[in-house]
Chains A and B, each alone.
Chain A
């Protein structure tokens, strides 16, 4: 168990490509941190630097009280779960799980006991003598988990571990991984491009974009108070609506409509306004006209996709609410409006 701290970490590849810009953050002991972002945002590079699989160009990485920049991956007291499981195909499940312990000189009897324990915890007992090729995707992922758990490391690293699984299994494994981490209390860093995984699993989310941290916060902070239009549109499905608006004498307006909200900021001029689809209501007396193009039935609720003037906009309504395509009016909850700089996309 350990705290992990990154101090001015930066990664530049030999070809000059800067994968991670100067980055600093600290992960608390026992915390589950999710690095999320689109592909190529540097999240995997960051994780691989923590693992020691990628060299750190600049900065200082600490696991616990130890600077580990030049420490061999095997000596960092970490365990990693890979996207394609990375099991040893020629070894049985038992040997796969015990391999790391064996190389650390653990006595055979102790290895056997620990492997049995891990297998029981992950429901793998009956598969211990099988080879990975004889297992299903979910079982292989469990073996990879077992390999990580059995070593009782200071830090778990997950590199998109669920992206090769089908949707149903993914939901199940998500809960299992989270529960396991809670139970063991081991610090964990989890990389994913799936914002649902990030939201559901994380104690804290770090949103990355183009090698830079966009925002660090709890899932709720990230969801409700995105620091930029990037975060607003990346997190949440459907994403936050972002439309052109303007602030005039502290009044926020969408072209030609009444004031929606009083802006506290001393600012005037064009801005980007954001609102989550669930913070919009259909209301015949609403001040904004909304044209519905498509009705998306999701069971628990429905999504209306359409336009405000020429700008794309989505509204989420409950399953009891009636709706139809065509013209309607909506009401935006004033307290749910978020204002962003029109050019930089940063929160105002």
Chain B
């Protein structure tokens, strides 16, 4: 393959500069500050700070609340990722078979994508309202007295449902285009080779969809970990109390509500390392098993 080259070193630098500046200003710089302040104890009223070494980190290790939040974050991310991928895949497989009205159907499924996370959270509040929420009534039919913002499990359930609902359209559209890029003749060949539709799906369609699924897996884990902040904030109605929360929300809470900037910084540094490890893990282990055509 022929490699395109630049005669002048400054042109590529100039082209890269805007991107590098954005990364530097919005990522490296704050990340550096977070790293630095994670070693200090900040005075809550802004009267200077004291170097405390790794104390902000070590105090997290023994902290029961931190462990509980970390545990919830893991469960929450697994549930949100799994259900938003699974439901979207199911919808995409069904939509792929629809010929008439396909466009309308797809548009309807896509609409949710246009909703901002806090708005989605607010809609969740309406759905789970104590006295008028339709979903609250639905759960009551099964004998579950659903109390959003009061009952830990109820709030957690609402958070998962709203986050999944919000993420389905993105996954759906990727899965659908993935499905449609599988050649028709390959599917027809499987129809002749295999009687079972389930077998055809898991043995041929799904493996061919794996690159899409892998990409979405990364996107969804990131989404569940970080981008659900708005939903969580809205559903909690500003009363963290006994409510479940994710690690990212705790960073915000400790830093800006608890005024513990040092501890909060330490937590965000841990999150950064976590994301780094996750990415390395995903690319090293998962991608190797995936077939790209």
Which residues from chain A sit less than 8 Å from chain B, CB to CB?
A: 51-53, 72-76, 78-80, 82-90, 99-100, 103, 131, 133, 147
A90/B193 in contact, CB under 8 A:
no
CB atoms of A103 and B196 under 8 A apart:
yes
Bound together, the chains give a CA A88 to CA B153 distance in angstroms of 45
Residues of chain B within 8 A (CB-CB) of A51 are 188, 192
B194 and A82 contacting across the interface, CB-CB below 8 Å? no
Give the complex CA separation of A37 and B195 in angstroms. Answer: 32
Contact A53 B194 (CB under 8 A): no
The 5 closest A-B pairs by CB, nearest first: A86-B185, A74-B195, A100-B193, A86-B189, A90-B291
Minimum Cβ distance to chain B for residue A146 (Å): 13
Q: Check if B134 is an interface residue, CB within 8 A of chain A.
A: no
Task: Give the chain A neighbours of B183 by CB distance below 8 A.
Answer: 84, 86
User: Could you tell me which residues of chain B, from 187 to 243, have a CB within 8 Å of some CB in chain A?
Assistant: 188-196, 199, 203-204, 207-208, 210
Cβ–Cβ contact B193 & A82, under 8 A: no
- Among residues of B, the one whose C-beta sits closest to the C-beta of A48 is B188
Residues of B within 8 A of A78 (CB): 192
Measured between beta carbons, the chain A residues less than 8 angstroms from B185 are 82-86
Q: List 30 A-B contacts (CB under 8 A).
A: A51-B188, A51-B192, A53-B191, A74-B191, A74-B192, A74-B195, A76-B192, A80-B189, A80-B192, A82-B185, A82-B188, A84-B183, A86-B185, A86-B188, A87-B186, A88-B186, A88-B189, A88-B204, A89-B186, A90-B208, A90-B291, A99-B193, A99-B203, A100-B192, A100-B193, A103-B193, A103-B196, A103-B199, A131-B291, A147-B189
- Whether a CB of chain A sits under 8 angstroms from the CB of B293 is yes
* Neighbouring A residues of B186 by C-beta, 8 Å: 86-89
Sort chain B's interface into a size bin.
20 to 34
A133 to B195, CA, bound (A): 26
- B194 and A74: CB pair below 8 A? yes
Bound complex: CA of A52 vs CA of B193, how far in Å? 12
Measured CB to CB, the nearest residue on chain A to B206 is A90
B183 CB to closest chain A CB, in angstroms?
Answer: 6
B residues 160-191 in Cβ contact with A at 8 Å? 183, 185-186, 188-191
* A86–B190 alpha-carbon span in the complex (Å): 9
Least distance between A70 CB and chain B CB atoms (Å) = 14
Nearest Cβ distance between residue B16 and chain A, in whole angstroms? Answer: 33
**C-alpha spacing A75/B193, complex, angstroms:** 9
How many angstroms from the CA of A75 to the CA of B196 in the assembled complex?
Answer: 11
B131 to chain A, nearest CB (A): 49
Q: How far is A79 from B196 in the complex, measured between Cα atoms in Å?
A: 17
A86 to B194, CA, bound (A): 14
- Given the contacts A86-B189, A89-B291, A99 and B208 also touching, CB distance less than 8 Å: no
Q: Kindly list chain B residues whose C-beta atoms are within 8 Å of the C-beta of A99.
A: 193-194, 203
Task: Check B193 against A72 for contact (C-beta < 8 Å).
Answer: no
Report the bound CA distance from A156 to B49 in whole Å.
82
Please give, as numbers and ranges, the residues of chain B lying within 8 Å of A74 by CB-CB distance: 191-195
Contacts of B199 in A (CB 8 A): 103
Give B180 Cβ to nearest chain A Cβ, in Å. 16
Complex CA gap A51/B192 in Å reads 8
Establish whether residues B192 and A79, one from each chain, have CB atoms under 8 Å apart when the complex forms: yes
B208 CB, nearest partner CB in chain A, Å? 6
In whole angstroms, how far apart are the Cα atoms of A82 and B293 in the complex? 19
Contact status A73-B191, CB under 8 Å: yes
Give CA–CA (A86, B183) in the complex, Å: 8
With contacts A83-B185, A86-B186 known, is A73 near B192, CB below 8 A?
yes
Q: How far is the CA of A78 from the CA of B190 in the complex (A)?
A: 12
CA distance A73 to B185 in the complex (A): 13
Q: In the bound complex, how far is the Cα of B204 from the Cα of A131, in angstroms?
A: 14
Q: Give the most central of B183, B188, B203: most A CB within 10 Å.
A: B188
Least CB separation from A53: chain B residue: B188
Q: Which residues of B contact A147 (CB under 8 A)?
A: 189, 193
Known: A89-B208, A90-B291. A82 touches B191 (CB 8 A): no
Report how far A83 CA is from B185 CA in the complex, Å. 8
Chain B residues with CB under 8 A of A73 = 188, 191-192
Contact among B189, B204, B291 with A82 in the assembled complex (CB-CB below 8 Å): B189
A103, B192: Cα distance in complex, Å = 10
* Chain A residues positioned under 8 Å from B193 (CB to CB): 74, 99-100, 103, 147
Q: Which residues of A contact B208 (CB under 8 A)?
A: 89-90
Q: A87-B189, A88-B186, A100-B194 are in contact. List 13 more A-B contacts (CB 8 A).
A: A72-B195, A80-B192, A84-B183, A84-B185, A86-B186, A86-B188, A88-B189, A89-B208, A90-B208, A90-B291, A99-B194, A103-B193, A131-B291
The docked-state distance in angstroms from the alpha carbon of A90 to that of B190 is 13
Closest B residue to A84 using CB positions = B185
**Docked CA distance A53–B184 (Å):** 11
Q: Which residues does chain A contribute within 8 Å of B203, judged by CB atoms?
A: 99
| Minimum CB–CB distance for B287 against chain A, Å | 14
A133 with B293, Cβ < 8 A, contacts A83-B185, A86-B183, A103-B199 known: yes
Q: Which one of B189, B196, B207 lies within 8 Å of A90 (CB-CB)? A: B207
